[in-house]
Amino acid sequence: MTPLNIALVGNPNCGKTALFNLLTGSRQKVANYAGATVERKEGWFTTPAGHTVRLLDLPGAYSLNATSPDEAVTRDVCAGTYRGEAAPDLLVCVADATNLRLHLRFVLEMRALGRPVVLALNMIDAAQRNGMEIDLPRLQAEIGMPVVPTVGIRRDGARSLLARLDDSLPPVPTPLPAGTDLHAMVRQILSDCVTQSTPLSDRVEERLDRWVLHPVWGPVILIVLLFFMFQAVFAWAQPLMDGIDAGMGWLGQQVGRLLPDGLLRSLIVDGVIAGAGSVVTFLPQILILFAWILALEESGYLPRAAFLLDRLMSFAGLSGRSFIPLLSSFACAVPGVMATRTIQNPRDRLVTILIAPLMTCSARLPVYTLLIGAFIPHRDIAGFLNLQGLVLFGLYALGIVSAVVVARVLRWRNPDRQEATLLMELPAYRLPNPRDLALGLWERARIFLMRVGTTIVSLTVLLWGLSSFPAPPPGAPGPAIDWSLAGRIGHLMLPVFAPLGFNWQICVALIPGLAAREVAVGALATVYSLGSGTDTDQAAAQLGQMLPTHWSLATALSLLAWYVYAPQCVATLAVIRRETASWRVVALAAGYLFALAYAAAFLTYHIARML
């Protein structure tokens, strides 16, 4: 039996993704639509009667009259005209029961498509809590399609939808006469089918928004949230990181004991385990950061932050819309650059893409953590802040300030004045759902671990090869790595980077660091452990304690400054190329970041030495 093709459509913020997660669980695949940069989410499930369903989660849209690439994909897939996508057998249109005035208009648009449609009236529980009573049979008759109530965040919330899917396909709804005033029709349906007993102003969002959007308290709440986010990333992750670190050390020792002394043991222990291990250690931090961003997104707070920051963003010539892509870039610039697709203005979008790499991505955290831990004393300030957290906060702030300056320069160089628009929904507040958070985090963890498993391990192995060959002649003085290819490349790079206070070991680590920033930590571990001739897992664990004896404080600060601008990773450049289809933009991004990094590290080094 061929599976049933179902597409989930609906307005943004209708709870579509929660319903998708509820139906498919972890049987999901995330990719891109053919020939477009829009994320494509597909999943599978089996109905109680045993039908297999292939479920496509279409991008949220306010109208079939598309104004963004995301909405265009939704329009074309629904119409069955998207090349490479099977036309859906059934559209499940999701509408938030608490927001029917907005969502029903889009539902009525669906009637023009000539496909069977089922309306999933989502968050029906919240509507009841808000004092709304909905006459389902009447709604079904007036809207001209079957209606099922759903609760995307409850375990059995899709039961009626599943039962409906096991029935035969509903008939194709009759299209509305051309020129029907959809708003008037929605108003009529609402007055016929919905009774509202609680006044609007008593709703939770009204009361919360009085604080959250307040001109004074709003920014205070935002700053407190962001500050705790960064303190949490630094403080809460520590015990977990220590645990993983100890585990990797133990693994290295066990493997080292099993293997005979020689090249293979060196490859496994010094190359693979030390290199990958020192990066896997940072997984807890990255997950905590993503958990914060996901929770803020799920709760409906992010668009409010964009509202509060719109004015600030307009100083950089951008709109509040750029805030969400830029905030995502704190986790990783790749999803950040991809999220710029929601910015309609092409110039705003280009500027946002160019400054996204200045937001401190999580791949830079391993480098920051290592250097801050090694060189900045763990000292309390004013009783509850600690100096390490403050320095980390400062590095993030430096990236943001630089982004504003760069955006202004770009705007001044390219002054075409098209009206900058904001026009953005402020969705209802929701308690983030643990299952949706867990699935989102799992997705992130998988991507991160796959990068460790492929790019990063192969790079550390390559580096191990460069650092091990050629071997020094018997009885040669000095550490072995000095004789190797890596040592030679490092020495060749030294004249360029010596003015920044970098030694040749840093130069060696910078090479793979260009491919993926976090590899620099693994590379340093490899270079130093091979160089010192001690046990590798020991060295990897003790890299932090070892560095202060090798580097001056000025060198460490200079490297931190370098990494604020850090010539970016190949993945970021690749996604910029894909999103802009222009090598010129890629060259511009790489060039200006390198120049800024060099200048900042140079200044930092020389100022720090004078102090």
Partner 1 sequence: MRLSDLPRGTDAVIDSVDDPGGADPVAQRLRELGFVPGEAVRVVATAPLGGDPLAVRIGFTRFALRRTEAARVNVHPAGPQA
Annotated binding site for Mg(2+): 21, 24-25
Q: Which is nearer to partner 1, 222 or 590 (CB)?
A: 222
Handedness of CA 379, 381, 383, 386 (dihedral sign): negative
Please identify, using beta-carbon distances, which residue of 216 and 611 lies nearer to partner 1: 216
Give dist(CA 554, CA 480) in Å, integer.
27
Q: Are 83 and 35 in contact (CB under 8 A)?
A: yes
Nearer to partner 1, 210 or 446 (CB): 210
The reply on whether position 362 binds partner 1 by CB under 8 A is no
62 binds partner 1 (CB under 8 A): yes
- The identity of residue 371, as a single letter, is L
Q: Is 200 in the site for partner 1 (CB under 8 A)?
A: yes
Q: Which residues contact 546 (CB under 8 A, 6 or more apart)?
A: 528, 532, 539
Residues 274-293: x where in contact with partner 1 by CB under 8 A, - otherwise, as a string: --------------------
Is the separation of the CB atoms in 86 and 5 below 8 Å?
A: yes
Any contact of residue 206 with partner 1 (CB under 8 A)?
A: yes
Structure tokens at 247: 């585990």
Among 241, 273, 289, 308, binds partner 1 (CB under 8 A): 308
Taking the C-alpha atoms of residue 8 and residue 20, their distance in angstroms, rounded to an integer, is 8
* Annotated binding-site positions: 10-17, 21, 24-25, 35-39, 57-60, 122-125
Q: How far is the CB of 267 from partner 1 (least distance, A)?
A: 56
Size of the site for partner 1 (CB under 8 A): 39
When asked if residue 63 is in the footprint of partner 1 (CB under 8 A), the reply is yes
CA distance 602 to 500: 5
Give the range of 423-431, 445-453, 477-485, 506-514 binding partner 1 by CB under 8 A: 423-431
What would you measure as the largest C-alpha separation in the chain, in angstroms?
A: 94
- C-alpha to C-alpha distance for 16 and 21, rounded to whole angstroms: 9
Of positions 218, 357, 501, 567, contacts partner 1 by CB under 8 A: 218
Q: Which of residues 67-106 bind partner 1 (CB under 8 A)?
A: 67, 98-102, 105
Instruction: Give least dist CB 292 to partner 1, A.
Output: 22
CA–chain centroid gap for 252, Å, is: 32
| Numbered residues of the known binding site for GTP | 10-17, 35-39, 57-60, 122-125
Sign of CA dihedral 213, 219, 224, 229: positive
**Pairing, β 52-57 against β 39-46:** antiparallel
DSSP-derived secondary structure letter, 42:
E
Choice between 425 and 443, CB closer to partner 1: 425
Euclidean distance between CA atoms 549 and 2, whole angstroms: 66
Q: Does 214 bind partner 1 (CB under 8 A)?
A: yes
Count Cβ atoms within 10 A of the Cβ of residue 497 and give its class: 0-12 exposed, 13-18 middle, 19 or more buried.
buried
Secondary structure of residue 206 in the 3-state scheme: helix
Q: Which of 542, 546, 566, 562 minimizes the C-alpha distance to 554?
A: 562
Binding partner 1 by CB under 8 A: which of 4, 232, 424, 480?
Answer: 424
The CB-of-199 to partner 1 minimum distance in angstroms stands at 12
380-381 and 90-96 as β-strands: parallel, antiparallel, unpaired?
Answer: unpaired
Q: Which stretch binds partner 1 (CB under 8 A): 163-171, 213-221, 383-391, 529-537?
A: 213-221
Helix (H, G, I), strand (E, B) or coil at 193: helix
Of 27, 29, 129, 183, the one binding partner 1 by CB under 8 A: 183
Q: Is 320 in the site for partner 1 (CB under 8 A)?
A: yes
Nearest CA to 132 among 197, 201, 186?
A: 197
Q: Least distance (Å) from partner 1 to the CB of residue 115?
A: 21
**Contact range with partner 1 by CB under 8 A, out of 155-163, 424-432, 535-543, 595-603:** 424-432
Rg (CA), the chain: 27
* Interaction between residue 224 and partner 1 (CB under 8 A): no
Residue whose structure tokens are 């910078």 = 510
Nearer to partner 1, 183 or 379 (CB): 183
The stretch among 275-283, 303-311, 386-394, 518-526 that binds partner 1 (CB under 8 A) is 303-311
Q: Is 207 in the site for partner 1 (CB under 8 A)?
A: no
* Amino acid at the residue 417: R
What mask, x for binding partner 1 by CB under 8 A, covers residues 383 to 422? ------------------------------------xxxx
Stretch that binds partner 1, among 32-40, 212-220, 290-298, 582-590 (CB under 8 A): 212-220
Binding-site member from 216, 258, 382, 611 for partner 1 (CB under 8 A): 216
CA distances from residue 96 to 49, 151, 204, 306, 430 in whole angstroms, order as listed = 27, 10, 16, 22, 12
Q: Which residue has the tokens 């074309």?
A: 76
Tell me the two tokens of residue 597.
């990094």
| 303 binds partner 1, rule: CB under 8 A | yes
Q: Which residues bind partner 1 (CB under 8 A)?
A: 62-63, 65, 67, 98-102, 105, 183, 200, 205-206, 209-210, 213-216, 218-219, 303, 306-308, 310-312, 319-320, 419-426
